[in-house]
């Protein structure tokens, strides 16, 4: 389903975590609204905060012996974001695969969804995609999107998603591109 038409993606209540973000004057572009790169940084900040929550008990420390790399980012801009304002990024773990997972996020102001972002992260050990260990999977499932009774949406990978500089690369990794679903 197109995330722009998914009512759960457009509702802040569907996300297990909320991350406030303050727009800065320097985030403005020549058209008087927040630049798309600034908005991408809002999603990145929320993703890192979620990752810290999952993998380090909320502390901003390195993930010892545990590496995830971003393989793809897809952003849908739904409405203009303006300055000054405080925004909220709702975030959670979307689909969990064998070696990767999707970080799903939405940008909100006053209950209105202004944009959506999905980032595919791949678990690496010594530079190669590796199965996500059960204990880490359980940590991800605890912050699954959408929030609902019945458990998280999990399914195995059909194949490894794209990783820069890896022989089995698929997916573009470009902002605004659609995630590879092969």
Q: Which pTM value belongs to this model?
A: 0.77
Tell me: the pLDDT tens digits for 53-81?
A: 887 766 666 656 668 899 999 999 999 99
Instruction: With respect to residue 52, please indicate whether it lies within any of the assigned structural domains.
Output: yes
pLDDT surpassing 80 at residue 138: yes
Picking from 160, 162, 161, 142, the residue whose alpha carbon sits closest to that of residue 152 is 142
How many domains, in total, are found in the chain? 1
Here the CATH number for the domain that contains residue 108 is 3.10.129.10
Binned at pLDDT 50, 70 and 90, residue 7 comes out as confident
Q: Which of 59-63, 86-90, 131-135 has the lowest mean pLDDT?
A: 59-63
Distance between CA atoms of residues 111 and 49, nearest Å: 21
For residue 95, the surrounding DSSP H or E stretch is strand 86-96
Instruction: With respect to residue 153, please indicate whether it lies within any of the assigned structural domains.
Output: no
Instruction: With respect to residue 177, please indicate whether it lies within any of the assigned structural domains.
Output: no
- The pLDDT, as a whole number, for residue 90 is 97
Domain that holds residue 130: 3-141
Picking from 1, 10, 2, the residue whose alpha carbon sits closest to that of residue 105 is 10
- The pLDDT, as a whole number, for residue 126 is 85
- Mean pLDDT for the chain overall: 79
pLDDT surpassing 90 at residue 22: yes
Core vs surface per residue 6-21: b (16+ CB within 10 A) or e: eebbbbeebbbbebeb
Instruction: With respect to residue 91, please indicate whether it lies within any of the assigned structural domains.
Output: yes
- The pLDDT, as a whole number, for residue 161 is 35
Instruction: With respect to residue 10, please indicate whether it lies within any of the assigned structural domains.
Output: yes
Instruction: With respect to residue 134, please indicate whether it lies within any of the assigned structural domains.
Output: yes
Q: Is 25 helix (H, G, I), strand (E, B) or coil?
A: helix
Give residues with Cβ within 8 angstroms of 49, minimum separation 6: 17, 19, 91
């Amino acid at each position: 389903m197109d995330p722009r038409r998914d009512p759960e993606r457009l509702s802040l209540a569907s996300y297990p975590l909320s991350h406030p973000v303050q727009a800065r004057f320097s985030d403005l572009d020549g058209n008087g609204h927040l630049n798309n790169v600034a908005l991408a940084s809002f999603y990145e900040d929320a993703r890192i905060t979620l990752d810290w929550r999952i993998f380090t008990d909320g502390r901003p420390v390195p993930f010892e012996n545990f590496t995830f790399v971003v393989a793809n980012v897809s952003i849908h801009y739904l409405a203009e974001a303006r300055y000054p304002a405080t925004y909220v990024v709702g975030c959670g773990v979307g689909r969990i695969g064998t070696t990767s997972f999707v970080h799903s996020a939405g940008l909100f102001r006053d209950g209105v969804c202004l944009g959506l972002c999905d980032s595919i992260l791949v678990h690496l050990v010594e530079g190669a995609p590796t199965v996500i260990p059960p204990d880490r999977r359980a940590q991800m499932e605890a912050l699954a999107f959408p929030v609902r009774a019945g458990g998280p949406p999990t399914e195995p990978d059909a194949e490894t998603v794209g990783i820069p500089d890896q022989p089995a690369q698929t997916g573009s990794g470009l902002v605004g591109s659609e995630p590879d679903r092969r």
